[in-house]
Amino acid sequence: MRDSPPSVPPDSSDSEQSGTDQTLEVRVPEMDCPSCAGKVTKSVERLDGIDDIDPRVTSGRLLVRYDPARTSESEIRDRVRAAGYQIADEGSDGGAADLSLSVPEMDCASCANKVENALAALDGVDEIETQPTSGRVTVAVDDETSADTVVDAVGSAGYEATPMDGDDEIGFGDDDSIWRSRRAIGTAIGGAIAAVGIGLSFVVPAADPTLGTVAGRPYALSQLLFIMAAAIAGAPVLRNAVYSIRNRSLDIDFLMGVGIVASVAAHHPFEGAMLAVLFSVAELLERFSMDRARNSLRELMDLSPDTATVRRDDGSTETVSADELAIGDVVVVRPGEKIPADGVVIEGQSAVDQAPITGESVPADKREGDEVFGGTIPESGYLEVEVESEADDSTIARIVRTVEDAERDQTKREQFVDRFASVYTPLVVVFALAVATLPPLLAGASWNTWFLRGLTLLVIACPCAFVISTPVSVVSGITSAARNGVLIKGGRHLETTGESDVLAVDKTGTLTTGDLSVTDVIPLEGATEADVLRRASAVERRSEHPVGRSIVGYADEQGIDGRDAGVSNFEALTGKGVRAELDGDTHYVGKPDLFDGLADLEHVHATTDGGVAVVDAPDRSQCEREGCLDVLEDIVPKLERDGKTVVVVGTEDDPLGVIAVADRVRPDAEWAVSRLQEQDVRVVMLTGDNEGTARAIAEQVGIDEFHAELLPDEKLAWIEQLESESDEARVAMVGDGINDAPAMATASVGIAMGAAGTDTALETADVALMGDDLTRLPYLFDLSKTATGVIRQNIWASLAVKAVLAIGAPIGLVTVIHAVIIGDMGMSLGVTGNAMRLANVEPETPAADTGPNSPESN
**Among 105, 55, 108, CA closest to 83:** 55
What's the burial of 557, exposed, middle or buried (CB within 10 Å: 0-12/13-18/19+)?
Answer: exposed
Active-site option among 253, 353, 506, 740: 506
Query: Can you tell me the distance from the alpha carbon of 100 to that of 164, in angstroms, rounded to the nearest whole number?
Result: 6
Query: Can you tell me the distance from the alpha carbon of 291 to that of 855, in angstroms, rounded to the nearest whole number?
Result: 41
Distances (CA, A) of 291 to 134, 285, 836, 837: 9, 10, 12, 15
**Among 672, 845, 697, CA closest to 774:** 672
Order the strands of the 136-141 sheet from edge to edge. 125-131, 136-141, 97-102, 162-163
For residues 532 and 657, is the Cβ–Cβ distance under 8 A?
A: yes
Helix then strand then coil, in percent of the chain rounded to 5, is 45, 20, 35
Alpha helices by DSSP H, listed for 266-379, are 269-301, 355-358
Q: How many CB atoms lie within 10 A of CB 696?
A: 17
> Which helix or strand (DSSP H or E) is residue 208 part of?
none
Query: Can you tell me the distance from the alpha carbon of 593 to that of 582, in angstroms, rounded to the nearest whole number?
Result: 21
Please report the DSSP string for 314-334 in residue order: TS-EEEEEGGG--TT-EEEE-
Distances (CA, A) of 542 to 531, 548, 551, 587, 686: 18, 9, 12, 14, 26
For residues 43 and 80, is the Cβ–Cβ distance under 8 A?
A: yes
For residues 381 and 332, is the Cβ–Cβ distance under 8 A?
A: no
Q: Are strands 731-735 and 749-752 parallel, antiparallel or unpaired?
A: parallel
Query: Can you tell me the distance from the alpha carbon of 552 to that of 270, in angstroms, rounded to the nearest whole number?
Result: 85
Residue 448, SS3 per DSSP = helix
What's the burial of 676, exposed, middle or buried (CB within 10 Å: 0-12/13-18/19+)?
Answer: buried
CA geometry: angle at 605 spanning 599 and 609, to 5°? 140
Can 251 be counted among the known catalytic residues?
no
Residue 257, SS3 per DSSP = helix
Residue 43 is which amino acid? S
**Among 242, 230, 228, CA closest to 280:** 230
Chain length of the chain: 858
Name the E strands within 438-489: 486-488
**Among 246, 255, 249, CA closest to 431:** 255
Active-site residue numbers? 506
